[in-house]
Amino acid sequence: MKIYIVDDDVSIVKMIEEIVLDGNLGEIVGTCDNSLTALDEVCLLKPDILIVDLLMPELDGITFVERFKRTSPASKCIMVSQVSSKKIVGDAYEKGITFFISKPVNKKEIRQVIKNLTDQIHLENNLKKIKQVLALEEAIPQNNETSPEAIDLDIEKKFRMIFSRLGILGEVGCDEIIRLCLHVIHSRTSSSNVKLKDLSSGLSDNPKAMEQRIRRTINKGLSNIANLGIEDYLNETYVKYSNTLFDFDQVRQEMEFIRGKKSTGGKINIKKFMDNLILIVEEM
């Protein structure tokens, strides 16, 4: 999540920065103690989450949010203030804030609010993707012969279904994993026979960054599977994918790490993940 903080109290900005960084809640893309200067920046950066003070000398927080939302309506806005007037708080919600936090800022509260908004953004993005897929389905001409585009779309839906079960559908690397898998399917080869770097270089101008995003996404899937196993060893998703998309020993290592019994977590095998992901999709 991209997060921007606007507050004329530098100590508040620093504290929120620490909360975000310590909790690994997102990326701080900017901070500012001048609301007029900040408005130009946020309209360009379009952060996912804006944290803004209500009372600022240049431009008050409510007006700030109202203007910002014109350029970035999907962004979520958290307002912080010592003011507790119901009318002012109501005005703030009408102008587009998503959550109001009273000062002095409670670290636990702001951490939880950011987590909740992150989940909300992921959910909205997933729903948007589903709607796009459905719209594409409706646009495909109905005839006796299924087009290659229709086949790819059906395969893509299956990939996304699995990603949803793994809890990673909202991760950036999902789209890139799908692109790589479709490339492997079309070339009728196995990703095990080709270096990931070579696969990525044919699909991206920055293959190293693409590989990093894919790695982060699969690592997230490993962590989610391990958590499922801790909660319910017989969980259907855990049983199905812990020894197919991942190495079972590495899943157990991740579970022990989460429990605090190991100093390092499990490791992923990207090629195994992709090859088995393709096999599972083709059998669906």
User: Is residue 135 predicted with pLDDT exceeding 60?
Assistant: yes
- pLDDT band per the 50, 70, 90 thresholds, residue 75: very high
High-pLDDT (> 70) share of the chain, %: 86
Residue reference for tokens 């962004």: 75
| pLDDT at position 203 over 60 | no
Strand 99-102 with 76-81, pairing: parallel
**pLDDT tops 80 at residue 134:** no
Tens of pLDDT, residues 214-242: 888 898 989 998 898 888 767 788 878 88
Helix (H, G, I), strand (E, B) or coil at 99: strand
List, in sequence order, the alpha helices (H) in 83-206: 86-95, 107-139, 148-166, 173-187, 196-201
Q: How confident is the model at residue 25 (pLDDT cuts 50, 70, 90)?
A: very high
Q: Which two tokens stand for residue 100?
A: 């109001």
Bridge partners (DSSP) listed for residue 114: none
Confidence of residue 202 (pLDDT cuts 50, 70, 90): low
Within 10 angstroms of residue 138's Cβ, the number of other Cβ atoms is 8
State the pLDDT at residue 49.
95
Give the separation between CA 202 and CA 186, rounded to whole angstroms.
Answer: 14
Instruction: Report the pLDDT averaged over residues 182-192.
Output: 64
137-175 pLDDT per residue, tens: 565 555 545 455 556 677 788 888 888 888 888 787 888
- The 8-class DSSP code of residue 270 comes to H
pLDDT at 52: 94
Q: Are 25 and 111 in contact (CB under 8 A)?
A: yes
Q: 77 forms bridges with which residues in the sheet?
A: 50
Domain segments of the chain: what residues? 2-117, 140-283
DSSP state of 98: S
CATH 3.40.50.2300 fits 2-117, yes or no: yes
CB neighbourhood size of 187 (10 A): 12
Specify which residues 103 forms β-bridges with: none
Backbone angles phi, psi at 140, to 5 degrees: -75, 125
Mean pLDDT, residues 193-220:
71
Q: Where does the pLDDT of residue 20 fall: very low under 50, low under 70, confident under 90, or very high at 90 and above?
A: very high
pLDDT at 91 over 60: yes
Q: Which of 264, 273, 266 is nearest to 241 (CA)?
A: 273
For residue 192, what pLDDT is reported?
A: 47
Give pLDDT, residue 146. Answer: 44
